[in-house]
Structure 1
């Protein structure tokens, strides 16, 4: 209806060793998002087998992918300092106008070893800061929670859909009993109306979803 979201998005880390990524993707599609961002895509054809009919437009860069109900005008990899692109930026031709969409999987962090992750957060923030798009969303596994100080460069630039329109902490990892939220939907130039978490099969992450008005 007129008061509902103009665009619904979802993001999921599929897990590289997922025995049935198609089942994970199908469960995510069941939430009826317009755009799906995926990370750790190791078997693209199996994912395509359940998404291609509903999401005829896609962009893939290494192990990240964007699936869209609407045409994708352009897309390219984004350098986050890992030595290979594990992020993409696309421009989606939504009915209300163009929307810049980043799908991102930032560097991993281990206890006492966070430098790579920290550098990738800074690189993503620099890319977003330089991006001229009026409306923009970031979907992905950023390998850090918004409460971590390293996240500050992003929170100064973007809103957090879960914090602004969701309920509770929105924890996503580990999927069985989540205690933190490395998975995010960040935005600017839009008004968030909904945000939440979806339990999907076979992944070690829960998915994140959000709805926005123009």
Structure 2
């Protein structure tokens, strides 16, 4: 039995050594539930929102602290953030690895990384997963990418540093203004065997600690464009430079669903590639039924790729 009295203290005088651990556990649970109440000053709220799934790492640390302090009360209080985290995010790990039913179209998205020493190897590894459509961002060596993909993906659309490669014909394509001052997004209509599919390939503005305004503005611009798009079936592929838990993602999540959340397993973190702790790369959709979603670790990029399959 854990003794809740400090050695040498009179019997009946409660020990307080677990008080700090218990208080931290309560605060952690409150932050998990109320992270969007943190003021979004200089992007702080967005940062906390994006990191919320990682707050679960605090649970085992607090449990260990309670054990080291030999405080049964503190250990019981640590159950609170554990239960809250499980309620919020446990379902992501309980979903089956893939959905049911045949897949009509498979898509993938990859930020190649500007200055990638071997973009052909990156896209080659991605193509080995056999998607029908590949959306790319930070393409600065289109010739090497074309050499790797051209044989398997005869149809291509590109605007500045974003590109779409397709097994099927692309009927139309044009750049999309997201407010950066230059187009770093495109919209294409792909003629699939089941019918037309509107596909956006997007690289939103960058976000840095204390500097998220450009990212926020480009996300709002993308949401406005998607809202005005009347295509019945639509997919957005890209590096959106934020996680779906970020409050600024709201305008998009009200319009589109997240393939990873519906058909993937786990959080599907993609950045940084070697030890990912967040997911700025997404496959969003409407008018389709997701059957699969996952992540591919490709060489030479600082992002992992995201994939998804859909049933018409």
User: What is the TM-score with the length of structure 2 in the denominator?
Assistant: 0.68
Q: Residues 119 and 141 of structure 2 are in contact (CA less than 8 Å); yes or no, is this contact kept in structure 1? A: yes
Query: Which residue of 1 is the match for residue 136 of structure 2?
Result: 38
Query: Which residue of 2 is the match for residue 22 of structure 1?
Result: 120
Query: Which residue of 1 is the match for residue 223 of structure 2?
Result: 125
Query: Which residue of 2 is the match for residue 80 of structure 1?
Result: 178
Higher mean C-alpha displacement, 139-148 vs 2-11: 2-11
Name which structure has the greater RCO, CA cutoff 8 Å, separation 6+.
1
Shift of 1:4: 1.9
For 2:103 and 2:228, the matched residues in 1 are separated by 27
For 1:199 and 1:109, the matched residues in 2 are separated by 23
For 2:101 and 2:186, the matched residues in 1 are separated by 31
Structure 2 unmatched runs, 5+: 1-99
Shift of 1:67: 0.1
Shift of 1:3: 3.4
User: What is the TM-score with the length of structure 1 in the denominator?
Assistant: 0.99
More helix by share: 2
The alignment status of 1:104 with 2:199, answered yes or no, reads: no
| Count of equivalent residues | 213
For 1:150 and 1:132, the matched residues in 2 are separated by 23
1:8 paired residue among 87, 106, 113 = 106
Give secondary structure in 2 for the equivalent of 1:129. helix
Query: Which residue of 1 is the match for residue 163 of structure 2?
Result: 65
The alignment status of 1:187 with 2:285, answered yes or no, reads: yes
